[in-house]
C-alpha cells in the first residue's frame, strides 16, 4: 500500500470562476500529451538510458552494498562522504529524513552501534577544517563518491583527507579507512583504486549523478549509518510500479510533471517552490532543487533547436517561511506554483499545554499538538494561496519512514524525466556546467585548458 498521495485540487478550476486547469483536460489534451511523454520514457528505458528505474529491484547490488556497510560496524564512529551534487545531496536527504543525525546529537559511541554520517560537499576551508578537527581519524571512514571520478572539488577533498590519514593512521592503514564509489570501469578515481588497492563500489554506467541516490552512492553511507535501505528500495519499487501507466490521473509522477510543466508554458508560472512542512524533508527539497533545475534547464531541445527551457526550483520550509517568503508567494509576481510536502503522522506529536492561559494569544484548544498545528499551518497557507488564485499542490506522506521516502524519491525522479520530454529536452545531461569546469582547470594551470579572460584585479568597475 502506497504511503504517498498527490493532491492537485488547488491546481484545478473546480468551482466556477476559479483559476487553474479545466479538469476535463486531464482526460483530453493533457492526458494525450502525457501519454506521449510516458511512451518516450518507456522507449528510453528499453534503450537502457534510464537505469535509475531499475535500481529498486537491483537486489544483488543492494546486498553487496549492505555487506560492505556492515563491515564498518564497531570499527568507526564517523563516516564522511566526500562528494558533490548528485554524489552528496541524496545521501544527505536519506540521513536527514530518516534520522541518522541523532547520534550526532549526543548519544555516546558506546551506546550507539552505528557511526555518525557526515556529508562534505564543499571545498570551503572553514567547514572542512571544522569537520576534520572534530574527527578522530583513527575512528573515521571516508567514502569518496564521484560517478565520473574526476570532479575537482571531490578529488581535492580526497587529497586533503588522504594526507591526514597517512599522518594519523599511517600510509598502509589509510586504505582501511577508504572506499571509492565510482564508475565500474572509467575515470581517475577508478584508476587510483586499482593502483593503490582501495575497495570500490560501482555506480551503474547508465545512472547519472542526480539520479543515483538509490545506487551505492546513497545506499552505502545510509546503510553504514544504520538506515533501512531495503525499505527505501521497496518503497521506490512501489512507486515505480505506480508510474508504469500512461494514464495521467493514475500516475503520480505524471500528474506532478504535467501540471508543473503546463503552469510554466501556459501561464508563465516558472518558479516551482518545493516546500515541506517537515524539517526532516528540508534536505529533500534541496535534492529536488538539483534534480529539477539541472535536468530541465537546457539551451537546446531534443530536436537540436534552441530551447532555453527550465523552471526555477525554489526550496522553502513551512511553517518557517510563512514568515519570510509567503508574502512574495501571495502578492508578488504570479509566476509560481507551490508544491507542498506534508506528513500525516508524527512519532511524537508534542502536546501544547492547554492549562488556563494568562492571555488569549496563549490559548490552544484542549488536546492540540505541535503536529496538529503544523498541519493547520499548511492547510491555511494552501487555502490562502488558492483564494488569491495562486496555484499549489500537496504531496502527502502517510508517515515519514524509509518506505515512504523511497516512494517520494522515485516519484520525483520519474516526474523529472517526464518533464524533460514534456519540455522537449534531455533531462539526463548537464552540458551547461562544462565551461565553468574547464575554466577551473585553466585557472589551476592544468595543461590543455585555457583560463577565462579576466579583468585586472584593480579594474575601475568596483566600488
Of 52 and 329, which has the nearer Cβ to ligand PA5?
52
Q: How far is the CB of 53 from ligand PA5 (least distance, A)?
A: 16
Of 201 and 338, which has the nearer Cβ to ligand PA5?
201
Of 87 and 200, which has the nearer Cβ to ligand PA5?
87
DSSP state of 369: B
Of 84 and 326, which has the nearer Cβ to ligand PA5?
84
* Strand 306-309 relative to strand 298-300, pairing: antiparallel
Q: How far is the CB of 277 from ligand PA5 (least distance, A)?
A: 27
Of 56 and 209, which has the nearer Cβ to ligand PA5?
209
How far is residue 350's CA from residue 90's CA, in Å, rounded to a whole number?
A: 29
Q: How far is the CB of 291 from ligand PA5 (least distance, A)?
A: 8
Helices 216-224 and 59-70, packing angle to 10 deg: 40
Of 84 and 285, which has the nearer Cβ to ligand PA5?
84
The residue with its CB nearest to ligand PA5 is 209
Contacting residues toward ligand PA5, per CB under 6 A? 84-87, 146-148, 151, 154, 208-210, 294, 430
Of 84 and 275, which has the nearer Cβ to ligand PA5?
84
Backbone phi, psi, residue 430, to 5°: -150, 60
Instruction: Report how far apart, in Å, the C-alpha atoms of 124 and of each of 78, 121, 127 are.
Output: 20, 9, 6
Q: How far is the CB of 271 from ligand PA5 (least distance, A)?
A: 21
Catalytic residues: 294, 323, 437
* Strand 200-202 relative to strand 140-146, pairing: unpaired
How far is residue 367's CA from residue 375's CA, in Å, rounded to a whole number?
A: 14
Give the angle 69-72-77 at the CA atoms, nearest 5°.
Answer: 120
DSSP 327-358: HHHHHS-S-EEEEEEEES--S---BPP-SPPS
Query: Residue-wise over 406-441: b if at least 16 C-beta within 10 A, else e?
Result: bbbbbbbbbbbbbbbbbbbbbbbebeeeeeeebeee
Q: How far is the CB of 178 from ligand PA5 (least distance, A)?
A: 16
- The count of residues in the chain is 463
Instruction: Report how far apart, in Å, the C-alpha atoms of 417 and of each of 413, 423, 428 are.
Output: 7, 10, 8
Nearest to 344 by CA among 386, 374, 380, 385: 374
Cell numbers 506529536 correspond to 349
Q: How far is the CB of 54 from ligand PA5 (least distance, A)?
A: 18
Of 300 and 429, which has the nearer Cβ to ligand PA5?
429
How far is residue 25's CA from residue 90's CA, in Å, rounded to a whole number?
A: 35
Instruction: Report how far apart, in Å, the C-alpha atoms of 170 and of each of 141, 175, 194, 234 are.
Output: 14, 9, 20, 41
**138 close to 76: Cβ distance less than 8 angstroms:** no
**Neighbour count for residue 140 (Cβ, 10 Å):** 24
Q: Is residue 59 classed as helix, strand or coil in its secondary structure?
A: helix
Q: How far is the CB of 416 from ligand PA5 (least distance, A)?
A: 11
Joined grid coordinates for residue 210: 542526480
Cross-strand partners of 143: 81, 179
Q: How far is the CB of 206 from ligand PA5 (least distance, A)?
A: 13
Sign of CA dihedral 133, 117, 63, 292: negative
Of 208 and 297, which has the nearer Cβ to ligand PA5?
208
Nearest-Å Rg of the Cα atoms of the chain is: 24
Q: How far is the CB of 189 from ligand PA5 (least distance, A)?
A: 8
**120 close to 128: Cβ distance less than 8 angstroms:** yes
Amino acid at each position: 500500500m502506497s504511503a504517498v498521495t498527490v493532491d492537485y485540487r488547488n491546481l484545478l478550476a473546480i468551482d466556477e470562476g476559479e483559476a487553474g486547469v479545466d479538469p476535463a483536460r486531464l482526460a483530453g489534451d493533457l492526458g494525450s500529451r502525457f501519454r506521449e511523454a510516458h511512451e518516450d520514457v518507456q522507449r528510453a528505458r528499453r534503450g537502457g538510458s534510464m537505469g535509475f528505474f531499475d535500481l529498486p529491484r537491483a537486489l544483488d547490488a543492494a546486498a553487496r552494498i549492505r555487506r560492505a556497510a556492515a563491515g564498518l560496524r564497531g570499527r568507526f564512529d564517523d563516516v564522511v562522504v566526500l562528494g558533490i551534487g548528485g554524489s552528496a545531496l541524496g545521501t544527505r536527504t536519506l540521513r536527514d529524513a530518516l534520522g541518522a543525525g541523532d547520534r550526532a546529537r549526543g548519544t555516546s559511541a558506546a551506546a550507539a552501534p552505528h557511526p555518525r554520517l557526515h556529508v562534505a560537499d564543499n571545498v570551503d576551508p572553514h567547514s572542512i577544517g571544522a569537520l576534520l578537527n572534530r574527527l578522530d581519524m583513527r575512528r573515521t571512514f571516508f567514502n569518496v563518491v564521484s560517478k565520473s571520478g574526476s570532479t575537482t572539488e571531490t578529488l581535492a577533498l580526497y587529497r586533503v583527507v588522504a594526507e591526514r590519514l597517512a599522518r594519523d593512521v599511517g600510509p598502509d592503514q589509510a586504505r582501511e579507512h577508504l572506499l571509492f564509489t565510482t564508475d565500474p570501469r572509467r575515470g581517475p578515481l577508478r584508476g587510483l583504486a586499482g593502483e593503490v588497492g582501495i575497495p570500490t563500489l560501482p555506480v551503474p554506467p547508465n545512472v547519472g549523478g542526480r539520479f543515483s541516490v538509490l545506487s551505492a552512492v546513497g545506499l552505502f553511507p545510509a546503510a553504514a549509518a544504520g538506515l533501512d535501505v531495503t525499505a527505501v528500495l521497496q518503497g521506490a519499487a512501489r512507486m515505480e510500479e505506480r508510474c508504469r501507466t500512461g494514464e495521467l490521473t493514475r500516475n503520480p509522477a505524471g500528474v506532478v510533471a504535467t501540471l508543473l510543466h503546463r503552469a510554466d508554458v501556459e501561464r508563465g508560472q516558472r518558479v516551482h517552490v518545493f516546500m515541506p512542512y517537515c524539517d526532516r524533508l528540508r534536505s529533500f527539497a534541496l535534492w529536488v532543487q538539483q534534480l529539477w533545475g539541472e535536468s530541465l534547464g537546457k539551451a537546446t531541445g531534443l530536436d537540436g533547436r534552441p530551447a532555453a527551457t527550465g523552471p526555477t526550483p525554489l526550496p522553502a520550509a513551512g511553517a518557517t517561511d510563512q514568515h519570510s517568503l509567503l508574502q512574495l508567494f501571495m502578492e508578488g509576481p504570479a509566476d509560481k506554483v507551490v508544491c507542498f510536502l506534508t506528513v500525516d503522522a508524527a512519532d511524537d506529536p508534542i502536546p501544547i499545554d492547554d492549562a488556563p492561559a494568562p492571555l488569549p494569544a496563549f490559548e490552544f484548544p484542549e488536546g492540540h499538538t505541535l503536529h496538529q498545528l503544523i498541519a493547520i499551518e499548511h492547510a491555511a497557507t494552501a487555502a490562502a494561496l488558492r483564494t488569491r488564485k495562486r496555484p499549489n499542490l500537496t504531496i502527502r506522506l502517510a508517515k515519514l519512514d524509509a518506505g515512504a521516502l523511497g516512494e517520494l524519491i522515485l516519484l520525483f525522479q520519474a516526474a523529472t524525466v517526464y518533464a524533460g520530454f514534456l519540455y522537449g529536452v534531455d533531462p539526463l545531461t548537464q552540458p551547461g556546467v562544462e565551461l565553468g569546469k574547464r575554466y577551473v582547470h585553466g585557472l589551476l594551470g592544468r595543461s590543455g585548458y585555457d583560463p577565462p579572460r579576466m579583468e585586472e584585479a584593480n579594474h575601475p568597475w568596483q566600488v
